[in-house]
């Protein structure tokens, strides 16, 4: 079995329902291959939900969607202990979090106590309801969306929550040609049916293949330097960032970077990691983990620009 061919088949199936948005699709595939959760930020109508549905159909995975709202409760997500009048006993009613692909739609619409209901399951792959702990089936992936343009009735995600996302993808508009194709297909209802091309066993083999991808020690050290420069910019001759960065990237960023570059190389059909793979994933991994100072935010300094300055300063091996 050629695993790269199976992966290409998966991309072809997803493309039946999603026009363009290659970065978003590749990021979701990297998340699947590395057990990494993904935060998608973009205005409504950019096929975020559609993409997740297409992936679940092509992989025949369970998919559930939670619409986050201000009145949502943690028990609406993870489940609760309820009293059964017939048996006079308490029983566990599991919530929608018990699935393979969980779409947390507009996650910043719910307050912190609801967002924190996802913390345990995202890190430990388990859910605690009352006195019982339940393991979540694999694969398990949280794909959260948030709308960047509406601030009223929205809550900022806590840093602990953000840090559990491998990627933060900024989803942009399609090109004019792609939008024309979307409009034609939507008007004629001519989107093709998504076929199942992979199962959980093949997905597991793909994950194992990703782990075997080679990465040179020099590139590993290059990744460490990028992360360390976000914490100690002065050590790397980046004095202008000392008053810009409040907190640098966490150790999870390093772990996620090591995983993501291997998956990126595998997606591109290579059996080794190159500097291109680091360039492809570095901003998606760091943009939600580098916290800027209030002064920098007041000056409307962009996190991506800060990451770019770090990349320009550190020599590629």
Task: Round to whole Å and give the CA distance between 154 and 157.
Answer: 9
Residues of the chain with pLDDT under 70: 1, 17, 45-47, 149-154, 190-191
> Which pLDDT score, from 0 to 100, does residue 57 have?
80
Q: Which residues pair with 90 in a beta bridge?
A: 83
Q: Is the dihedral of CA 309, 145, 118, 257 positive or negative?
A: negative
C-alpha distances (whole Å) from 53 to each of 32, 44, 192 are 14, 16, 14
Q: Which residues pair with 89 in a beta bridge?
A: 84
Three-state DSSP at 267 gives: helix
> Which pLDDT score, from 0 to 100, does residue 265 have?
93
Three-state DSSP at 140 gives: coil
Give me 122's structure tokens: 């995202």
**313, 296 in Cβ contact below 8 A?**
no
All domains of the chain in start order, with CATH: 3-201 (3.40.50.300), 213-313 (1.10.8.80)
> Which pLDDT score, from 0 to 100, does residue 150 have?
57
CA dihedral 66, 67, 73, 77 (to 10 degrees): 0
> Which pLDDT score, from 0 to 100, does residue 274 have?
92
pTM over the 0.75 mark? yes
> Which pLDDT score, from 0 to 100, does residue 149 have?
61
> Which pLDDT score, from 0 to 100, does residue 138 have?
82
Strands 63-67 and 101-105: parallel
Cβ neighbours of 100 (radius 10 Å) = 21
Buried b vs exposed e over 243-264: b needs ≥16 C-beta within 10 Å? ebbeebbbebbbebbbbbbbbb
Three-state DSSP at 101 gives: strand
**218, 272 in Cβ contact below 8 A?**
no
C-alpha distances (whole Å) from 41 to each of 24, 88, 150, 170, 314 are 10, 46, 12, 5, 28
């Amino acid at each position: 079995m050629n695993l790269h061919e199976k992966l290409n088949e998966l991309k072809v199936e997803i493309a039946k329902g999603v026009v363009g948005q290659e970065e978003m699709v590749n990021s979701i595939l990297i998340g699947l291959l590395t057990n990494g959760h993904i935060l998608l930020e973009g205005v409504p109508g950019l096929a975020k939900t559609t993409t997740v549905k297409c992936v679940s159909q092509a992989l025949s995975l369970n998919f559930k969607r939670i619409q986050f709202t201000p009145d949502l409760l943690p028990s609406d997500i993870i489940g609760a202990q309820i009293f059964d009048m017939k048996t006079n006993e308490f029983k566990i009613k599991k919530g929608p979090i018990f699935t393979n692909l969980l779409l947390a739609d507009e996650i910043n619409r719910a307050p912190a106590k609801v967002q924190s209901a996802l913390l345990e399951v995202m890190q430990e792959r388990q859910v605690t309801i009352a006195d019982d702990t339940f393991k979540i089936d694999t694969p398990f992936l949280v794909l959260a969306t948030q709308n960047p343009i509406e601030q009223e009735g929205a809550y900022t995600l806590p840093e602990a929550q953000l840090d559990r996302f491998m990627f933060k993808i900024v989803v942009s508009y399609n090109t004019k040609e792609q939008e024309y194709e979307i409009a034609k297909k939507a008007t004629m209802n001519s989107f093709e049916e998504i076929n199942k091309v992979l199962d959980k066993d093949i997905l597991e083999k793909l994950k194992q293949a990703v782990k075997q991808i080679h990465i040179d020690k020099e590139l590993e050290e290059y990744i460490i330097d990028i992360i360390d420069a976000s914490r100690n910019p002065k050590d790397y001759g980046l004095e202008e960032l000392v008053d810009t960065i409040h907190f640098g990237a966490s150790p999870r960023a390093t772990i996620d970077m090591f995983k993501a570059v291997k998956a990126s190389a595998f997606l591109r059909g290579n059996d080794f990691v190159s500097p291109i793979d680091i360039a492809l994933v570095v901003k998606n991994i760091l943009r939600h983990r580098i916290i800027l100072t209030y002064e920098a935010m007041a000056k409307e300094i962009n996190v991506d620009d800060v990451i770019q300055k770090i990349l320009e300063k550190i020599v590629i091996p």
